[in-house]
C-alpha cells in the first residue's frame, strides 16, 4: 500500500509539471490504474472494476480525442495563480489532516461508519434480496434512486456533448482529417479482430454475473462501449458510425433511462412506492426481477453514451 | 504516536487531493485543469474507500466461510461518483474543444484578453 | 394510493423522465410546447405538496420501500414545498417564452435537446430541495449543474464568451461538488448514516473535529454555488452570456436552492443555526454578506451591459440574504426566506423583460438601449417596476424584504448592518437611474419605430411585475409562511 501511495504521489506531481499533454493524459491513466490496485487492496473490487473501465479507460480515450483537437503542448507563462493555488491547497490539506484526527483508525471495525447502516446491508440483504454481491444490492435496490439519478447524469453528459459538438455546429471531418485508420497495420488488425469480439462477449457476462461477483450495469456498459471504441480506433470512426449509427445510439440511451425510471412508474402503478420491487413479487424474487431490469437500463444507457461520446469527439474535424 | 500510524493512509490521500486541486487552480491549460480535476476526484474516492476498510475483512460479497466484510456503502457511493466524474469530464472536454475552435486557444492567459467582459458581443466565427 | 400521494416523487420524476423523450423529438415546436406542459404539471404537483404541508405536517416518502436510513428518504416540510414551488413555477414561467426567446441563438435541430436540458435542470434543482438524504443531494446537484453548464453554453450563438463562462462555472462547480463529497465523507465516517435527519441525531455524539471539518467543506462547496464571495466570480459572466431565458431561470432558482441547502444543513444536521459554528454562520456570513451587498451594488453601477448590471445586483441581494442568515435565529431565517422569494420574483421579472428586449433588439448593452422608453413602453414599465423593487421603494416586494432585514438587525443591535443595507439601497438608486438614463434620456442613433416585445413575453413579465407589487402591498402572507417555517426549523430542530 505504501508503495502504491508513493507512486501515486509521484505521478500526481509529475502531472503538475509536465507540459506535453499527451504524456499527461497517459500519466493520469496510470494514476487511475494505480488507484484501481489500491481499491482492490481495500476490498472494493466493484469500484476497482468501474474505475478501470470508466476512469482509466473511457476518460483517457475522451481526453486524447479532445487533445487531438485542442493541441498537445501546454504553453506555460508566469502565473500569479500559482501562489494562490499553493496556499489554497495547503490550507485545505491542513484542514483535512486536522479533521482526520477524529477519524477512526484505518481498518477499525468498530468505526461508526461500519456500524449502523452497513451491517443491515451485510446481514439482511441475503434474505431480503438474495444475491451475494452486497454492493449490487445496495446500488440497485436499497439506494436504487441514487443510481437512477446517476444514469440520468450519464444521459445528461451525452445531451451536453451532442449540443456542444455536432448538430448544427457539426464540422464533420473531411476525408483524411479524422483520426488515421490504423487497420493497415497487421498487428493492430489482428489484435482488434481478437479483442473486439471477446470484449463484446465479456460485457453481457459482467452484466449478469454482477449479482454474484464484481460487476453490474455500469461496468458492463463501459466494457461494451470500450469494445466499440476499440473497433472505431483501429478500423476508423466512419466504419463505427456505419455499424452503430448515432441515431440508434441516441434512442438506446433514452430507452435505458426510461427502462429504469419506467420500472419505478410500473411499481407505482402496481400499488407500491416508487422503485419498490416488492411490487413484482415476494422477496427475494421480486427484488431480483427489479434489479435485473434496472441493470439492463443502466447497461443500455452507459454503453450507448460511451460510444456516442467517442463518435462525437473522434468525428470532429480539425479547427 | 503509534495511534497516528493508523491515520497515515488518510494523510497520504490528502496530499494527493491537494496536488490535484493545485493543478486545477494553478495550471492555465483548460484540458490540464480537467485532468487535474480528475486526479483530485479520484483521490477523494480513495479516501472514501479507505474509510470503509475493515482490517481482516473481505470484499462485501457474501460467501460461506467469511464472517467479516468490509463496508459496502462507500463502494456504492463511489461508483456513482466515478460516473458523475466522467460525465463532467466529457462536458468539460466538449467545451474546451468548442473554445479552441472559437478562440483559437485553450490557454487561460491567452483567453483572458479575448473574453473581456465589458466588450461588445462577439458571436462565434461561423465556419 | 392515489397519484397525488406520490406527488413527492413525481414532482422530480416527471421532468426527469420526460426530458429524454423530448430530446428525441424532431419538431422544435412540439418539443417547446411539451416542455411547457411538463413544467406546468410540475408546478401543479409542487402546489399540491405546498397545500399538504401548510399546516406544518412533514411528508416522508421512502424510495424503494426501504425505510430510512437504510434507503433514501424524501422528506418534505413546508420549506421544501415552498422551494419546490419556486423551482417549478419559475420553470413554467420561463418555459412559456423559452422557445421564442432561444430561437435566434439555437438552431431548430438543437432546440429539443436544449429543452430537455432545461427540464433536467429543473428536475435536478427540485430533487435537491425535496430529498432527505445527503448523498442524494449530491447526485441531483450534479444533474442540475451539468444541465446548467450546457444551458449557459447555448448562449454561444449570440456571444462566444458563453463558452468560457460555462467552462469557468464547470471547473468551479466541479471543485465545489467535490468539496461537498469530502464533507459528506467526514460526516458519514463519524456517524454511519447519510440521512439528514438521522445525521442530526448522531452528530452531537460524534467527534467534534471531524464534524467541524466536514461541515466546513460542505459549507465551502455550497458557498460556491451561492456565489458567496470570494467564490462569486462565475456568476456575472454566466448570467451575462447565457441566453436571456436561461438567465431568468437561473436567477430565480440556482443560487436560491444552494442557499436553501445551507439553511437546511445548518438546522437539520448541525442543530440550531446559531450553533453550527459561530464559526460558520454568525461570524462569517454578516461580513461577507455586507461586502457583497456594497461591492455588488457598486459594480452594477459601472456595468456596460444590462444583464451584467442585473447580475451584480443579484450578488448584492445574495449578500443581503446571507446577512439575514448571519443575524441568526428564527428572525434571521424568516428574513432570509422572505428575501429569497421576493428577489426571485423581482429579478425574474426583470430578466424576463430583458429577454423580451434582447429578442427584439438583439443586444442588452446599455448603449443599445437608447430610445427604449419610446419604442418599447411595455417593457420599460416593467423594467421600472423591477427597478423600484431592487431599490426597495415602498409598495414593492423589495421594500418589504429590506425593511425586514433592517428591522431584524436593529432589534439585535447590529446597527452597522442596518446602515449597510440602507447604503446599498442608495447605491441601487444610482444603477436604476442608469437604466432610466439609458432607456429614456439617451438619444438613439436613429429613431426607431415602436415595436414592443413579442407578445409571448407579456404574460411572464406581467405576472412577475404584478407579483413584485403584490408582494409589496400585501406582504403579510409570505411573512407568515416564512415565520412559520423559521419557527419549525429552530424550535423543533431534527
pLDDT digits (tens, 9 = 90+) for C319-375: 999 888 888 777 888 888 999 999 999 999 999 999 988 888 888 888 888 888 888
Which grid cell sits at B95?
Answer: 467545451
Closest CA to C262 of C344, C203, C212, C325: C325
> Residues B91, C120: contact at Cβ < 8 Å?
no
Alpha-carbon distance A218 to nearest alpha carbon in chain C (angstroms): 16
pLDDT of A176: 46
Best residue of A6, A19, A35, A42 to probe chain B, by most B CBs closer than 10 Å: A42
Predicted confidence at residue A181, as pLDDT, reads 59
- List of chain A residues whose C-beta atoms are within 8 Å of the C-beta of residue C188: 113
The mean per-residue pLDDT over the stretch C187-201 comes to 83
Whole-number pLDDT of residue A150: 94
Statement: residue A84 has pLDDT above 80 = no
CB neighbourhood size of A252 (10 A): 18
Q: Cell triple for residue A10?
A: 509521484
Query: Looking at CA atoms only, how far is residue A186 from chain B in angstroms?
Result: 32
Indicate the average pLDDT of chain A.
Answer: 84
Query: Predicted confidence band at A78 (pLDDT cuts at 50, 70, 90)?
Result: low
Indicate the average pLDDT of chain C.
86
Spatial separation of the C-alpha atoms in residues C224 and C179, rounded to whole Å: 10
Alpha helix locations (H) across A101-166? 117-128, 134-137, 144-164
Q: How many residues does chain A have?
A: 319
Q: Lowest-pLDDT range, A210-219, C96-105, C196-205, C239-248?
A: C196-205
**A278, three cell numbers:** 416488492
Minimal Cα distance from C135: which residue of B? Answer: B77
Q: Which residues of B fall within a CB distance of 8 Å from C308?
A: 117-118
Structure confidence at residue A173 (pLDDT): 47
- Checking if the pLDDT of C450 tops 70, the result is yes
* Cβ pair C325, C340 in contact under 8 A: no
User: Does residue C63 sit at the A interface (CB-CB below 8 Å)?
Assistant: yes
Kindly determine whether residue A126 and residue B35, on different chains, have CB atoms separated by under 8 Å: no
Tell me which residue has cell 423543533.
C492
Is there a contact between C164 and B99 if contact means CB atoms under 8 Å apart?
Answer: yes
pLDDT given for residue A286 in this prediction: 85
Torsion region of A274: left, alpha or beta (phi above 0 gives left; psi -120 to 50 gives alpha): beta
Note the pLDDT tens digit of each residue in C415-438. 888 888 888 889 999 989 888 888
List the one residue out of B44, B25, B24, B26 whose CA is nearest residue B34. B24
Give the list of residues 6+ apart from residue C357 with CB closer than 8 angstroms, or none.
C306, C364, C369, C372, C376, C379, C453
Buried b (16+ CB within 10 A) or exposed e, A15-35: bbeeeebeebbebbbbbbbbb
Which of these ranges, A287-296, B108-117, C42-51, C350-359, has the smallest mean pLDDT?
Answer: B108-117
Instruction: Give the predicted TM-score (pTM) of the model.
Output: 0.92
The length of chain C, given as a count of residues: 494
- Per residue in A234-267, pLDDT (tens digit) is 888 888 888 889 899 999 999 999 999 999 999 8
Q: Of how many residues is chain B composed?
A: 127
Extract the C-alpha cell encoding A103: 477519524
Given its phi and psi angles, is residue C294 left (phi above 0), alpha (psi -120 to 50 degrees) or beta?
alpha
Count chain B–chain C contacts defined by CB atoms under 8 A. 99
> Which among C135, C153, C240 has CB closest to B95?
C153
The model's confidence at residue C147, banded by pLDDT at 50, 70 and 90, is very high
Which value, to the nearest 10 degrees, does the dihedral of the CA atoms of residues A97, A98, A101, A104 take? -70
Does residue B4 belong to the interface with chain C, where contact is any CB pair within 8 Å? no
Query: What integer pLDDT is reported at residue C227 of this predicted model?
Result: 82
Domains of chain B: 2-54+69-112 (1.10.287.3510)
Sign of CA dihedral A162, A167, A170, A172: positive
Q: What is the DSSP letter of A153?
A: H
Compute the distance between CA of residue C353 and CA of residue C435 in angstroms, rounded to an integer. 13
**Interchain proximity A99–C63, CB inside 8 Å:** no
- Which pLDDT tens digit goes with each residue over A38-50? 999 888 899 999 9
Burial letters for C20-32: b for 16+ Cβ neighbours within 10 Å, e otherwise?
bbbbbbeebeebb
Q: Comparing C-alpha atoms, which of C95, C87, C15 is closest to residue C341?
A: C87
pLDDT, position B126? 40
| pLDDT of C278 | 43
Judge: A32–B42 Cβ closer than 8 Å, yes or no: yes
So what's the pLDDT on residue A170?
47
pLDDT (mean) for C185-207: 81
Whether residue A172 lies within 8 A of chain C, CB to CB, comes out as no
Supply A255's cell numbers.
430507452
Neighbours of chain C (3+ CB pairs under 8 A): A, B
> Within 13 A of C303's CA, how many CA atoms are on the CB side?
29
pLDDT at C139 over 50: yes
CA angle A63, A218, A70 (to 5 degrees): 10
Rounded distance, CA C388 to CA C407, Å?
Answer: 20
Supply φ then ψ for residue A275, to 5 degrees.
65, 25
Using CB atoms, pick whichever of C160, C188, C305 lies closest to residue B123: C160
Using alpha carbons, list the distances in angstroms from residue A245 to A38, A220, A302, B94, C485.
38, 20, 16, 20, 53
Is B74 in contact with B51 (CB distance < 8 Å)? yes
Q: Name the nearest CA neighbour of C361 among C104, C160, C97, C93.
A: C104
Predicted local distance difference test score (pLDDT) of residue C203: 77
Q: What is the mean pLDDT of residues C37-45?
A: 94
Statement: residue A71 has pLDDT above 90: no
Predicted confidence at residue A317, as pLDDT, reads: 64
Output the tens digit of pLDDT for each of chain B's 127 residues. Answer: 556 667 778 888 888 888 888 888 888 889 999 999 999 999 999 988 888 888 777 888 887 777 788 888 888 999 999 999 999 999 999 999 999 888 888 888 888 887 777 776 665 544 3
Q: Do B18 and A107 touch (CB under 8 A)?
A: no
Give the pLDDT confidence score for residue A146 in this predicted structure.
Answer: 92
- Per-residue model confidence (pLDDT) at position C45: 92
Residue B9 near chain C (CB below 8 Å): no
Question: Could you give the angle at which helices C78-102 and C476-491 cross, rounded to 10 degrees?
Answer: 130
Residues on chain C bordering chain B, Cβ-to-Cβ distance under 8 angstroms: 135, 139, 142, 146, 149-150, 153, 156-161, 163-164, 166-167, 170-171, 174-175, 177-178, 181-182, 185, 188-189, 194, 236-237, 240, 303-305, 308, 363, 365
Q: How far apart are CA A76 and CA A74, in angstroms?
A: 6
Residue for grid cell 453514451: A305
Picking from C13, C65, C206 by the largest number of A CB atoms within 10 A of its own CB, the best residue to mutate is: C65
pLDDT at residue C276, as a whole number: 44
Note the Cα B64 to chain centre separation in Å.
Answer: 37
Q: Which chain C residues are closer than 8 Å to B42 by Cβ?
A: none
- Bridge partners (DSSP) of residue B61 are A133
A80: how many CB neighbours lie within 10 A of its CB?
8
Residue A142: DSSP 8-state:
I
Q: Minimal CA–CA distance to C421: which of C494, C489, C326, C351? A: C326
Residues 204-243 in C contacting A (C-alpha not used; CB under 8 Å): 206-214, 216-217
pLDDT band at C252 (very low <50, low <70, confident <90, very high): very high
- CB-based contact, C277 to chain A, within 8 Å: no
Closest to C424 (Cα-Cα) out of C347, C259, C314: C314
pLDDT at C351: 93
Asked if C17 and A271 come within 8 Å (Cβ–Cβ), the reply is no
Establish if A276 touches chain C: CB-CB under 8 angstroms: yes
Asked if B83 and A218 come within 8 Å (Cβ–Cβ), the reply is yes
Which residues in chain A touch residue B69, judged by CB atoms under 8 angstroms apart?
A: 43, 122, 134
Question: Per residue, what are the HEC states of chain C?
Answer: CCHHHHHHHHHHHHHHHHHHHHHHCCCHHHHHHHHHHHHHHHHHHHHHHHHHHCCCCCEEEEHHHCCCCCCCEEEECHHHHHHHHHHHHHHHHHHHHHHHHHCCCCCCCCHHHHHHHHHHHHHHHHHHHHECEHHHHHHHHHHHHHHHHHHHHHHHHCCCHHHHHHHHHHHHHHHHHHHHHHHHHHHHHHHCCCEHHHHHHHHHHCCHHHHHHHHHHHHHHHHHHCCCCCCCCHHHHHHHHCCHHHHHHHHHHHHHHHHHHHHHHHHHHCCCCCCCHHHHCCCCHHHHHHHHHHHHHHHHHCCCEHHHHHHHHHHHHHHHHHHHHHHCHHHHHHHHHHHHHHHHHHHHHHHHHHHHHHHHHCCCEHHHCCCHHHHCHHHHHHHHHHHHHHHCCCCCHHHHHHHHHHHHHHHCCCHHHHHHHHHHHHHHHHHHHHHHHHHHHCCCCCCCCCCCCCHHHHHHHHHHHHHHHHHHHCCHHHHHHHHHHHHHHHHCCC
pLDDT of B56: 76
C442 touches chain A (CB under 8 A): no
| Cα C402 from Cα A86, distance rounded (Å) | 40
Residue A105 DSSP code? P
Residue of A155, A300, A234 whose CA lies nearest to C123: A155
Q: How many CB pairs under 8 A join A and C?
A: 179
Q: Do B86 and A50 touch (CB under 8 A)?
A: no
How many Cα atoms sit within 13 Å of C145 on the Cβ side? 33
Contact B103 C164 (CB under 8 A): yes
The H or E element that residue A141 is part of is: none
Q: Which of B16, B51, B91 to mutate to test the interface with C (most CBs of C within 10 A)?
A: B91
Omega before A220 within 30 of 0, i.e. cis: no
Nearest CA in chain B to A68: B97
CA dist., res. C425 & res. A134, Å (int): 58
CB–CB of B47 and C171 under 8 A? Answer: no
A271/C136 touch (CB, cutoff 8 Å), yes or no? no
Which of these, C331, C335, C379, lies nearest to C353 by C-alpha position? Answer: C379
Q: Is the pLDDT of residue A298 over 90?
A: yes
- The stretch C19-34 carries a mean pLDDT of 92
State the pLDDT at residue C270.
Answer: 58
| Phi, then psi, of A20 in degrees rounded to 5 | -80, 110
Question: Reduced to 3 states, what is the DSSP secondary structure of residue A188?
Answer: helix
Share above pLDDT 70 across residues of chain A, in percent, rounded to a whole number: 91
Chains touching B by CB (3 or more pairs below 8 Å): A, C
Upstream peptide bond of C72 is cis (omega within 30 degrees of 0): no
Cell of A101: 484526527
Written as nine digits, the cell of C171 is 471547473
> Do residue C308 and residue B117 have CB atoms under 8 angstroms apart?
yes
In sequence order, what are the residues at sequence separation of 6 or more whose Cβ sits closer than 8 angstroms to the Cβ of residue C436?
C384, C387
Amino acid at each position: 500500500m505504501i508503495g502504491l501511495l508513493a507512486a501515486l504521489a509521484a505521478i500526481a506531481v509529475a502531472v503538475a509539471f509536465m507540459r506535453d499533454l499527451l504524456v499527461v493524459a497517459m500519466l493520469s491513466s496510470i494514476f487511475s490504474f494505480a488507484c484501481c490496485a489500491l481499491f482492490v487492496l481495500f476490498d472494493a473490487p466493484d469500484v476497482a472494476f468501474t474505475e478501470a473501465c470508466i476512469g482509466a479507460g473511457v476518460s483517457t480515450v475522451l481526453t486524447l480525442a479532445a487533445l487531438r483537437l485542442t493541441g498537445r503542448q501546454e504553453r506555460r507563462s508566469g502565473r500569479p495563480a500559482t501562489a494562490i493555488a499553493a496556499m489554497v491547497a495547503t490550507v485545505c490539506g491542513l484542514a483535512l489532516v486536522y479533521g482526520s484526527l477524529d477519524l477512526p483508525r484505518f481498518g477499525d471495525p468498530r468505526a461508526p461508519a461500519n456500524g449502523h447502516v452497513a451491517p443491515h446491508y451485510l446481514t439482511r440483504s441475503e434474505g431480503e434480496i438474495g444475491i451475494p454481491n452486497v454492493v449490487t444490492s445496495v446500488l440497485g435496490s436499497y439506494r436504487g434512486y441514487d443510481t437512477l439519478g446517476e444514469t440520468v447524469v450519464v444521459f445528461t453528459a451525452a445531451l451536453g456533448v451532442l449540443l456542444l459538438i455536432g448538430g448544427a455546429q457539426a464540422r464533420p471531418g473531411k476525408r483524411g482529417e479524422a483520426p488515421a485508420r490504423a487497420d493497415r497495420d497487421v498487428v493492430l488488425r489482428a489484435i482488434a479482430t481478437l479483442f473486439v469480439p471477446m470484449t463484446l462477449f465479456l460485457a453481457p457476462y459482467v452484466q449478469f454475473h454482477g449479482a454474484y461477483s464484481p460487476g453490474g450495469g455500469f461496468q458492463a456498459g463501459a466494457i461494451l462501449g470500450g469494445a466499440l471504441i476499440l473497433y472505431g480506433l483501429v478500423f476508423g470512426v466512419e466504419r463505427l458510425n456505419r455499424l452503430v449509427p448515432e441515431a440508434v445510439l441516441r434512442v438506446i440511451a433514452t430507452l435505458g433511462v426510461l427502462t429504469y425510471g419506467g420500472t419505478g412508474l410500473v411499481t407505482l402503478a402496481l400499488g407500491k412506492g416508487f422503485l419498490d420491487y416488492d411490487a413484482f413479487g415476494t422477496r427475494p424474487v421480486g427484488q431480483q426481477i427489479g434489479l435485473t431490469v434496472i441493470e439492463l437500463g443502466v447497461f443500455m444507457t452507459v454503453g450507448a453514451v460511451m460510444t456516442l461520446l467517442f463518435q462525437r469527439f473522434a468525428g470532429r474535424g480539425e479547427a | 504516536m503509534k495511534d497516528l500510524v493508523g491515520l497515515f493512509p488518510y494523510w497520504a490521500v490528502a496530499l494527493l487531493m491537494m496536488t490535484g486541486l493545485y493543478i486545477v487552480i494553478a495550471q492555465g491549460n483548460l484540458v490540464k485543469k480537467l485532468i487535474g480535476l480528475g486526479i483530485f476526484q479520484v483521490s477523494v474516492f480513495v479516501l472514501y474507500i479507505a474509510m470503509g476498510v475493515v482490517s481482516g475483512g473481505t470484499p462485501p460479497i457474501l460467501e460461506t466461510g467469511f464472517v467479516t466484510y468490509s463496508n459496502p456503502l462507500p463502494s456504492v457511493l463511489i461508483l456513482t461518483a466515478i460516473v458523475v466524474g466522467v460525465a463532467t469530464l466529457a462536458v468539460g472536454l466538449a467545451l474546451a474543444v468548442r473554445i479552441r475552435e472559437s478562440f483559437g486557444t485553450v490557454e487561460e492567459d491567452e483567453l483572458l484578453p479575448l473574453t473581456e467582459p465589458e466588450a461588445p458581443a462577439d458571436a462565434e466565427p461561423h465556419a | 394510493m392515489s397519484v397525488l400521494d406520490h406527488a413527492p416523487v413525481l414532482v422530480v420524476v416527471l421532468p426527469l423522465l420526460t426530458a429524454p423523450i423530448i430530446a428525441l423529438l424532431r419538431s422544435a415546436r412540439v418539443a417547446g410546447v411539451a416542455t411547457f406542459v411538463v413544467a406546468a404539471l410540475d408546478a401543479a404537483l409542487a402546489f399540491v405538496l405546498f397545500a399538504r404541508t401548510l399546516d406544518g405536517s412533514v411528508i416522508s416518502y421512502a424510495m424503494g420501500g426501504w425505510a430510512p436510513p437504510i434507503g433514501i428518504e424524501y422528506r418534505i416540510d413546508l420549506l421544501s414545498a415552498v422551494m419546490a414551488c419556486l423551482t417549478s413555477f419559475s420553470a413554467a414561467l420561463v418555459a412559456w417564452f423559452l422557445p421564442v426567446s432561444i430561437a435566434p441563438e439555437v438552431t431548430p435541430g438543437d432546440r429539443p435537446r436544449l429543452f430537455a436540458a432545461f427540464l433536467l435542470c429543473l428536475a435536478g434543482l427540485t430533487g435537491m430541495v425535496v430529498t432527505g438524504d445527503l448523498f442524494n443531494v449530491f447526485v441531483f446537484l450534479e444533474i442540475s449543474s451539468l444541465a446548467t453548464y450546457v444551458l449557459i453554453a447555448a448562449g454561444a450563438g449570440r456571444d462566444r464568451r458563453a463558452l468560457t463562462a460555462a467552462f469557468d462555472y464547470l471547473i468551479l462547480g466541479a471543485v465545489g461538488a467535490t468539496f461537498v463529497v469530502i464533507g459528506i465523507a467526514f460526516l458519514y465516517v463519524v456517524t454511519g448514516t447519510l440521512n439528514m435527519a438521522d445525521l442530526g441525531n448522531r452528530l452531537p455524539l460524534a467527534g467534534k473535529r471531524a464534524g467541524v471539518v466536514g461541515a466546513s467543506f460542505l459549507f465551502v462547496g455550497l458557498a460556491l454555488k451561492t456565489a458567496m464571495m470570494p467564490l462569486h466570480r462565475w456568476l456575472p459572466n454566466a448570467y451575462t452570456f447565457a441566453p436571456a431565458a436561461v438567465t431568468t431561470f437561473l436567477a430565480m432558482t440556482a443560487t436560491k436552492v444552494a442557499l436553501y441547502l445551507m439553511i437546511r444543513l445548518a438546522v437539520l444536521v448541525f442543530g440550531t443555526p446559531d450553533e453550527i459554528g459561530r464559526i460558520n454562520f454568525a461570524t462569517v456570513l454578516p461580513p461577507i454578506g455586507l461586502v457583497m451587498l456594497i461591492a455588488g451594488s457598486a459594480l452594477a453601477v459601472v456595468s456596460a451591459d444590462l444583464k451584467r448590471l442585473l447580475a451584480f445586483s443579484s450578488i448584492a441581494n445574495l449578500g443581503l440574504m446571507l446577512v439575514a442568515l448571519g443575524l441568526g435565529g428564527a428572525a434571521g431565517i424568516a428574513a432570509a426566506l422572505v428575501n429569497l422569494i421576493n428577489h426571485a420574483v423581482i429579478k425574474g421579472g426583470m430578466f424576463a423583460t430583458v429577454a423580451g428586449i434582447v429578442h427584439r433588439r438583439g443586444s442588452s448593452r446599455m448603449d443599445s438601449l437608447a430610445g427604449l422608453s419610446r419604442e418599447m413602453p411595455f417593457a420599460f414599465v416593467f423594467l421600472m417596476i423591477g427597478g423600484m423593487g431592487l431599490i426597495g421603494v415602498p409598495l414593492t416586494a423589495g421594500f418589504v424584504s429590506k425593511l425586514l432585514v433592517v428591522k431584524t438587525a436593529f432589534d439585535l443591535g447590529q446597527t452597522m448592518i442596518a446602515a449597510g443595507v440602507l447604503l446599498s439601497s442608495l447605491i441601487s438608486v444610482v444603477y436604476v437611474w442608469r437604466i432610466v438614463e439609458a432607456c429614456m434620456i439617451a438619444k438613439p442613433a436613429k429613431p426607431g419605430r415602436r415595436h414592443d416585445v413579442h407578445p409571448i413575453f407579456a404574460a411572464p413579465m406581467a405576472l412577475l411585475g404584478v407579483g413584485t407589487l403584490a408582494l409589496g402591498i400585501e406582504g403579510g402572507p409570505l411573512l407568515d409562511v416564512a415565520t412559520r417555517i423559521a419557527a419549525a426549523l429552530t424550535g423543533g430542530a431534527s
